[in-house]
Structure formats: structure tokens, C-alpha cells
Structure 1
Amino acid sequence: MTPGLVIAAPRSRSGKTTITLGLLRAFARQGVRVQPFKAGPDYIDTAFQSRASGRTALNLDSWSMPEPLLDRIAAYADDADLALAEGAMGLFDGAPAMGESGTGASADIAARRGWPVLLVLDVSGQSQSAAAVADGFRRMRPDVTIAGVILNKVASDRHGRLVRDALERIAMPVLGALPRSASLTLPERHLGLVQASEHPDIDGAIDRIADSVAAHVDLPAVRAIAASARNPARNAPPLAPPGQRIALASDAAFAFCYGHLATLWHAAGAQILPFSPLADEAPAADADIVWLPGGYPELHAGKLAAAGHFLEGLRHHARDRAIHGECGGYMVLGEAIVDANGCAHAMAGLLGLVTSFAARRLHLGYRSARLLAPVGNYPAGMRLRGHEFHYSTIVAQPDPPLADIHDAEGRRLDQSGSRRGRVTGSYFHLVAPATGRHGEAAA
């Protein structure tokens, strides 16, 4: 079984993504087949991982996914030489209540798969104290193994020696130490990194990161600490697709569709028909459902408003077939998007929704939903798990609600999506069907 490990850290912005990308590209240069994963519901990092490794990166999320689905997705590493899973936030950070198979913490994935953790320590502003942090993480959960650390943002040789000596005293292996360098950062915007498809020189940036990682990290030692998975793939039930011919919007404005969805929908017999609204392409005329994922439509609102072929294609499809929008896709199905400058851009008008970025407010967290109306082949009453992450606010939403939606602690939320005929949408990003194992919070 393919050995794997988890790249984690005590907190966000420690350098997990940078080091993961560097490892993926450095190993790929050596001919090592590395399967990348991202713990949690992040939909931006996976695109960078796919570019760095040459393989489709997939999410593993213990709050949204039942154990058989986790194992089935992890099994996509079976034809690789190594599995690398990048953590989210801090190693033990997750939802306050249990989900399908855990709290969403990266530690759940490490424990479930039996993969050891390589801890990335940002040592800027500290030296010997880094050993106390590493030792505390090593003792936190007995079912999670901290196999070693990589030091990041080391200021000087002396600084590195002080940290290494302290870690040596607690018998914590140091597998590498990266010097502080502004050139190894990637550009960001309000939802995280700028998308890989928008980076002006994505391969050059990843190559520079890989050069640094290869020069300062013991790559053979990283492979040596990886361990074979504890749980083989189970016979998870097929991930039912919302239609058999799915027109899937896919470009810089509609990029936030989790990779496992299209992969498993296709495995269940669905045909995926990608199209680009930004290129003014209409959805396939013979699709039985149009799926508009989230993304950054607010950055392209003027271009989308002028994409007559795309908008008319949506309106034609909506006469007798299903359309569903998630987050940014939901906003495009509405009457208008108001940008940060207060300028309104007319959208498809298939829902009465009007959204605005003029008064930004963060909405973030796990979500459970019970459908009040069908979404394509998904029937009313179906329960789903997912995630919400956006800054837009609702100005108008006159249509009936689409779903009862709750947060991770089971509290009902006002933002319930909306529906009009066969057109549906919500801010909810689908991750997986729910099993209802943990009460209403799982419903």
C-alpha cells in the first residue's frame, strides 16, 4: 500500500502550502509519483498541488465525509509512490462538534490513514521555544505521530543551530530548514491564494520553491518517514451525480468545484461537459443539468454581464431542465451583482437574488443542508454536507428557500438558498451526502 504523510503546522501561515508545493515538484523531478491531497474543504490549494505534481489533487475532510468515502478518495494514491496530504489551519483545529467521521481537523486524517505528520515550524521570532511547541504537538493525541519537523523562515545559521540543538534535546528529527525569503511567497486575495490559473508564471514560481526545498530539505528522509495507510479502500457507495450529462462551468470565475465530485460523478456513470462562461460559451445543449460552481464572478462581473451567448444559453436551458449554482454560481443566477464600488452588473435573472460586495462580511464554516426541493436528480429531503466561504451580502432574495441549512453546531442559518422552477442555488458548497450519524448537525 502506498506510504503517505501529512504536512501540518501549529497554525495557519506557517508555510505548509509552500513546502508542500516544493516537495511535490521536487519529487516529481526525481520521477517519484506523488498523489497530493488537501485536508479540509479548501478549493484553491488543490489547483496548485495538481500543477506541482502532475496529478489531480483531492480533498479529504472528516467533518463532511463518512469514513468509507475518505478511504475511497485516499485510494487514488494506490498507483503512486507516495501520498502527501497538506493540512489546514493548525493540526488539531476543527469544528466544535463531530461531523461524519471527525471534526475536520487534519489530525483526523493522519489518525485515520495512519500517516505520520511532518510538522512545519515557522521559527521567526523564536528559537529554543520551538522545541516546546513540537513536544506539545507530539503529546497531544496518542493516535497521531509527529515524525519530524521542517523549520521555516530561519533568519541565520546561528538561529538555525539554536533551534536544532533544542529539538535534538527532545529527540525530534529535523528534516530541513528553509531560510527566510520573500521570493517564496505566492500572491493572495480575500479568499486565499490567487488561483493557479491566474498566476502569471505558476510553473516558474513552483520551480523556485522546489529549488529551495531541494536545497534545504532531506528528501530521502522525508520519504523514509512516510508510512503505509492503516485503512484500505472500502466499498463506499457510489457518489450519486445530480444528472447523467452535467454541463460544468469551469474557468477563472467558476473554479471552486471539489475535485472528488467530478471524479466520482464520472465513476458513477455521469458525463462531465465543461464549458467556460468567461469565453462566452453556452452549456451543452443536450445536458440535463447545468452546474455553476463558486469562484470569483465579482472580479469578472462586467465580462459575465456582457456574455450574451452564455446567459441566453442558461435561460434556454432553464425552460425545461435543471440549473444549480453554488456561491459565485448562485450569484450569477440572480438579477445582479453589486461590485465593491457599488456598480450593479446584470446577471442571468433566473432567480430574484441580488448580492453585493459594497459592504463585505465574512461567512465561513461547515454547513449541513436538507433540501426542500429537488436539485437535479437530488430529491427533496436529501441531506448534504458542505462548506461556506464568501464575503458578499444579500440585498434581495424574494424566491422560496431551497434548503434548511445548519452550521457545524446544529444552529439553523437564515441563508437558505433559493429556487424558482428548476433553477436552484445557495452559498453552500457541496462536499458529500450526509449519513446523519451525529444528529441535526449531521443532517
Structure 2
Amino acid sequence: MTEMPGIMISAPSSGTGKTTVMLGLLRALAEDGLQVQPFKSGPDYIDPAFHHAASGRASFNLDSWAMGPDLLAAISQQALGADICVAEGSMGLYDGVATRGQSGFGSSAETAQRMGWPVVLIVDVSGQAQSAAATALGFQAYNPQVPFAGVILNRCASPRHERLARLGMENAGVNVLGVLPRRGDLTLPERHLGLIQAVEHPDLEVAIAGYATFLREHVDINAIRDAAKGQLPQHAGAQLPEPPAQRIALARDAAFSFTYPHVLEGWRRAGAEILPFSPLANEAPDATADLIWLPGGYPELHGGTLAAADNFLSGIRKHAETRPVHGECGGYMALGDTLIDKEGTHHRMAGLLGLVTSYEKRKFHLGYRRAVLDAPLPGYVPGAKLRGHEFHYSTILEQPDAPLAQVADADGNPVPETGSYRGNVSGTFFHLITAEEGA
């Protein structure tokens, strides 16, 4: 183990202000001259870009359901050279899947316990006062093996409200690290997958600077620094994912941006050349690429632009004649025949797969995925066991091609989104995280 102080920013539930605190704290610590390494606990692929903007260092996911000890160790090594780690949890502190009969498997609490990072719990005290202490005390006592630093009380309405809430915490023996008054202008813009992407925020730098100022005024930053502790796990076989090709043309713009940072870092570390291009700017992928990779994103917001992007479409069609093309979620839909947007407008896509998808009647698809490949996926052979995550609202209307994999959720229940393939082209609705260790 390598000593590396850190903390976990978590909450009893989603929507309590974790991300606002996270971004403000990252920026405040960086302004104080610290090298701050951000992490995201869980499979979220939007938050890390905000973390990068706030801290100046790339943020990485740590996921105790999807990742084995070797990969977790390899990713944690990205913190070497930093002064402190700050991780943002997902959902509520103890929320996870029930696989192996264990409540909270894959939870932020499990990440905090594994890394030894004390939890800073963001408690929304609106609509209550002393009663908030019962919530905080329950989270602190629920699993004594999870280190606990204290709470930040959020959305406090008045000095009297703060006094009463603090009194409850004092009586419960819960350490209060700060109290944030209620402010409606601190909410980050959202859309159906959560936050908008960092690249789409109209004035992200001003927003983050404002969060840092707000935290300095109301939170004891030094107390949080003093509470930080922990270590980085080490494993002899630790390594990031290997690249699926030497020269990889990677779609990268507002329509295609959901790629896990540890995946790209693994490709780069192994010497692969990543060749970004923008389908929205009608750029064709590099003609010398060995592989085209279309990540997920929001193609449904840009259906008309993509359908008219002749250079992009002809480029991937030409490439697919002799070399592999793979798409994840939004990228998968763009490789299909037709994408129907929420207004019911049909947009012709690349037509490399027969897939037809629709947002006209939204249906929520969310959860971890375990896939056993029936056919090759770039970098993996048939029979490979992969882990990933699915999060979208589109509905498959037609999928005439052969299924790519047998796909199940975290509890082993089969899901119908199997992915598909035709010739050199493949696609999945799940975002690849890693192959299973030892598989």
C-alpha cells in the first residue's frame, strides 16, 4: 500500500448537492496550491469531465462491481504525484447492487472502505432541523468499517435553521464541517442522463470559480484536509485496458463523448495512436486508422446534422469494407439504419447495421451489464467476458443482425439489448468498462 490521503464526497441520496460541493472543493484545494486527484465512484461517465475542469487533472472511475483488484489498483496509481484525492460518490452512500447477497455491492461506501477515504456526507436539511442528525447518525453507524469525517449541511434556510441543525448534530456526536445556505443559482444544468456535458456548459469556468468561493465562505476547508487519509492499493498484475488496435480513429464531439477515462489512458499508455475526429463537423475518420470507435453521447439531439454529414458517413462506410468499426450506445445507434428523435422525425444513419432506434416513446434502460461475446469485438475474442454499464432512453424497433453477446444485468438476469454485428461492424448498448480478471 502507498499512503495517499483522500476523502469521499457522498450523500444519503441523489440530488443533495454532491457535485456542487465536489467541484467547489476541487477548485479551492487547487487554488491553495495542492495537486488534487479526482475520482468518481461508480460508472458515471459525465462527472469526470467536470472534475477535470475544476482540478486540472484527469478524473477516473473506481467501480468495485465492474473492476477487479488489478484494475482498481492500476487506476488508483493515477494519483501518484498528487497531494490529496477527492472522490465523488454516486447515488446514496450505501446504494449498490445485491449481487452475492450483499447489500451495497459496488457502492460508494465500498470504495471509501477499500481506499480508506473518510466520508464527507452532504445532508440536505431543507424541511427539517434536528431531525437531520438522525439521518447523519444512521449513515455514520450503518457500517462502522466505513471511515467517516463528518457532514456538510446543505440548503440551510436561516441562521436559526442552522443553529437548530447544528444542535442536533452536536447531540448525535456528528462532526459538522460546514453549512451551506440555500441558493437557487448553484444548480448545474441537467438533461435526461443527468448533468449536461462539461463541453456544453455555457460558462463552466465562472460556475466552478463561484462554487469554490461559496465553499470557502461556508465550509472549513482546512478541517476537510486534516480529515483526509487513506492508501492506494497495489497489485503485481495491475494494468489498464490494452488497446484494440494501434491507430484508433475516435469520434469526439458533443454527440459522441462518453468514453471511460481509464480506457483511453490504457490505450495511450500502451502506445496506441488516438486520432480524434468530429462527426458533427462532418469530419471523416483518418483513412489510415486500423479501427473506428464511436462512443456514446447524444446523437438523438443532432440527428439531422449527422444524417447530412456526408464526409463522416462515407468515411466510415469505406473503412468498414476492410477494417473494424465499433459503436457504443449512441455510437451504436449512429451505425444503424435509422434514428427516430423525440419529435418522431426519422434520420437515416450510416446503415452499416440494420438497427432502428427511437426516442419518441422514451424507455429508461439503466444498470450494470455482464456480456459473454458470441462474436469478436475489437480487442476481444468470442467467449470473452466483459463488464460495462448501460444508461439510455432509446427503444429498439428493429435489430435484424446477429446478436453480438449474451448480456445480463448485475444479478444475472438476461437483458434484450444484446448488441449486434454485421461483417466488420459491431455495436453494443453497454459502455465497456473492462474484461473480467482471470476470465
Alignment of 1:220-235 (within 5 A): 220-229=222-231, 231-232=233-234, 234-235=236-237
C-alpha separation between the residues in 1 aligned to 2:171 and 2:428? 53
Please tell me the residue identity of whatever aligns with 2:182: R
* Aligned 8 A contact 1:112 1:230 in 2: no
Alignment of 1:78-93 (within 5 A): 78-93=80-95
Q: Percent identity?
A: 57
C-alpha separation between the residues in 2 aligned to 1:104 and 1:273? 33
C-alpha separation between the residues in 1 aligned to 2:122 and 2:235? 29
1:440 alignment partner in structure 2: none
Alignment of 1:113-128 (within 5 A): 113-128=115-130
* Structure 2 residue corresponding to 1:20, chosen from 14, 19, 22: 22
1:30 alignment partner in structure 2: 32
- The superposition leaves residues 335-391 of structure 1 with CA deviations (integer Å, 9 ceiling, x where unpaired) of 110011111011100000010011110000000001111112311111100000000
- The superposition leaves residues 19-78 of structure 1 with CA deviations (integer Å, 9 ceiling, x where unpaired) of 000101111112111111100000111111110111111100011000121121111111
* Aligned 8 A contact 1:63 1:99 in 2: no
RMSD: 1.5
2:165 alignment partner in structure 1: 163
* Structure 1 residue corresponding to 2:55, chosen from 53, 56, 60: 53
Q: How many Å apart are 1:238 and its aligned residue?
A: 4.6
C-alpha separation between the residues in 2 aligned to 1:231 and 1:46? 21
Q: Given the alignment of the two structures, is residue 287 of structure 1 paired with residue 286 of structure 2, yes or no? A: no
C-alpha separation between the residues in 2 aligned to 1:243 and 1:270? 7
Please tell me the residue identity of whatever aligns with 1:37: F
* Structure 2 residue corresponding to 1:267, chosen from 259, 266, 269: 269
SS in structure 1 at match of 2:71? helix
Q: How many Å apart are 1:271 and its aligned residue?
A: 1.8
- The superposition leaves residues 249-295 of structure 1 with CA deviations (integer Å, 9 ceiling, x where unpaired) of 11110011011100012212322111111111111111111111100
* Aligned 8 A contact 1:21 1:209 in 2: yes
SS in structure 1 at match of 2:360? coil
SS in structure 2 at match of 1:386? strand
- The superposition leaves residues 94-122 of structure 1 with CA deviations (integer Å, 9 ceiling, x where unpaired) of 0121499x821001110111111111101
Change in Cα spacing, 1:164 to 1:109, as seen in structure 2 (3 Å) is same
C-alpha separation between the residues in 1 aligned to 2:62 and 2:240? 16
C-alpha separation between the residues in 2 aligned to 1:259 and 1:376? 18
Please tell me the residue identity of whatever aligns with 1:402: L
Q: Given the alignment of the two structures, is residue 376 of structure 1 paired with residue 385 of structure 2, yes or no? A: no
Q: Given the alignment of the two structures, is residue 309 of structure 1 paired with residue 311 of structure 2, yes or no? A: yes
* Structure 2 residue corresponding to 1:75, chosen from 74, 77, 80: 77
TM-score for the superposition, normalised by structure 1: 0.96
* Structure 2 residue corresponding to 1:358, chosen from 360, 371, 389: 360
* Structure 1 residue corresponding to 2:331, chosen from 329, 332, 336: 329
SS in structure 2 at match of 1:26? helix
TM-score for the superposition, normalised by structure 2: 0.97
2:113 alignment partner in structure 1: 111
Q: How many Å apart are 1:230 and its aligned residue?
A: 5.8
Q: Which consecutive aligned stretches of 4+ in structure 1 deviate over 3 angstroms post-superposition?
A: 232-235
Alignment of 1:166-205 (within 5 A): 166-205=168-207
Aligned pair count reads: 436
C-alpha separation between the residues in 2 aligned to 1:246 and 1:225? 43
Please tell me the residue identity of whatever aligns with 2:18: K
Change in Cα spacing, 1:206 to 1:233, as seen in structure 2 (3 Å) is farther
Q: How many Å apart are 1:170 and its aligned residue?
A: 2.3
- The superposition leaves residues 201-221 of structure 1 with CA deviations (integer Å, 9 ceiling, x where unpaired) of 011111111110111111111
- The superposition leaves residues 226-249 of structure 1 with CA deviations (integer Å, 9 ceiling, x where unpaired) of 003163465314522221211111
Q: How many Å apart are 1:143 and its aligned residue?
A: 1.6
C-alpha separation between the residues in 2 aligned to 1:133 and 1:322? 52
